[in-house]
Amino acid sequence: MSSTQRVLFFVTAWLIVLMPFLFWWNTWFGRRLSEKEVAEYLQDEKKPRHIQHALVQIGESMSRHDAAVRRWYPDVVRLATHPVDEIRNTDAWVMGQDTSGAGFHETLLKMLNDPSPMVRGNAALSLVRFGDASGRAQVVALLQPAQVTAPESGKLTELTTVGTTIHQGGVMAKLDHGGQIVEVHSPITGRLRELSMRAGQSVAAGGKIATLDPSTEQVWEALRALYVIGQPEDIEAVRRYERELPEISDRVRQQAVETEKAIKGRTM
């Protein structure tokens, strides 16, 4: 191997290691941003993950009662109407970290009518921190399986396998709509429980394609909220998670039991 070839070999090897690191470094929400970066990221409409990164850091500072973070509160309220679901979802969580935030309570109440079920759920969970049970119906909905429907009519060309964990917004199916490939995105983070259609079948717009079970974290947070605001009519939804099934963790099962006890204790 000549000197030039050795140099090219080592440069290529170095790039192979460096590029994944740079991608991880720029997308990892745990990387601490400077105040200048937070200001820039909050306005970066071309990269929604930058906005999310800034919001996550703001939320963490709020949980530490850092008064300096209040300068960003107007941006937090503004982002409640952002067109990207994941940003509104993160934003709803952030507002729950400081119940004294100006405009947070009123904004969260409006978010209970958001088109995204995850945003509605996170807004409802944050409202519990304000001592507000207005989102109880949305919290109970977090315990229910989600139905995935076709956004357009067409023939299904791809489907995710049953049992697969899918993140909110992830592509779980594709369909051919008049020669145009349309992606079907997951409305929640969860596990694909069952498919109602098979690849190659035609589906009408709004037709059911699959059923998703909510993620363990989503269920646990909903059960914790119902521990505080749950009513007797919510017990049936809670009991689904008291069963000893492989897909239900011990932590969730125990929380479900404690939540039912708390609900009954309030109504006796």
Establish if 64 belongs to a structural domain: yes
Please identify, among 114, 141, 168, the residue that sits at the C-terminal boundary of a domain.
Answer: 141
Which pLDDT score is estimated for 30?
58
Domain membership flag for residue 15: no
Q: In what order do the strands lie in the sheet with 180-185?
A: 180-185, 171-177, 154-159, 202-203
Distances (CA, A) of 124 to 147, 149, 175: 20, 24, 33
Count CA atoms within 13 Å of residue 206 on its CB side: 0
- pLDDT category of residue 236 using cuts at 50, 70 and 90: very high
Residue 15 has pLDDT above 60, yes or no: no
> How confident is residue 230, by pLDDT bands cut at 50, 70 and 90?
very high
pLDDT at 150: 93
Note the pLDDT of residue 23.
Answer: 37
Clarify whether residues 125 and 204 are in a common domain.
Answer: no
Instruction: Tell me the average pLDDT across 72-83.
Output: 96
Domains contained in the chain, number: 3
Q: Give yes or no: residues 80 and 61 share one domain.
A: yes
Sequence-distant (≥ 6) Cβ neighbours of residue 250 within 8 angstroms: none
Q: List the CATH number of the domain containing 163.
A: 2.40.50.100
**Residue whose C-alpha is closest to residue 103's, from 76, 85, 82, 123:** 76
Q: 204-226 pLDDT, tens per residue? A: 999 999 999 999 999 999 999 99
20-47 exposure pattern, b = at least 16 Cβ within 10 A, e = fewer: eeeeeeeeeeeeebeeebbeebbeeeee
Task: Tell whether 234 and 136 lie within a shared domain.
Answer: no
The verdict on residue 12 lying in a domain is no
Domain with 242 in it? 218-267
Residue 205 included in any domain? yes
Return the pLDDT at 209: 94
Task: For residues 212 and 146, give the distance between their C-alpha atoms in angstroms, rounded to a whole number.
Answer: 5
Q: Is 96 within the bounds of a domain? A: yes
Residue 174 and residue 84 in one domain: no
pLDDT at residue 153 tops 70: yes
Residue 9 has pLDDT above 90, yes or no: no
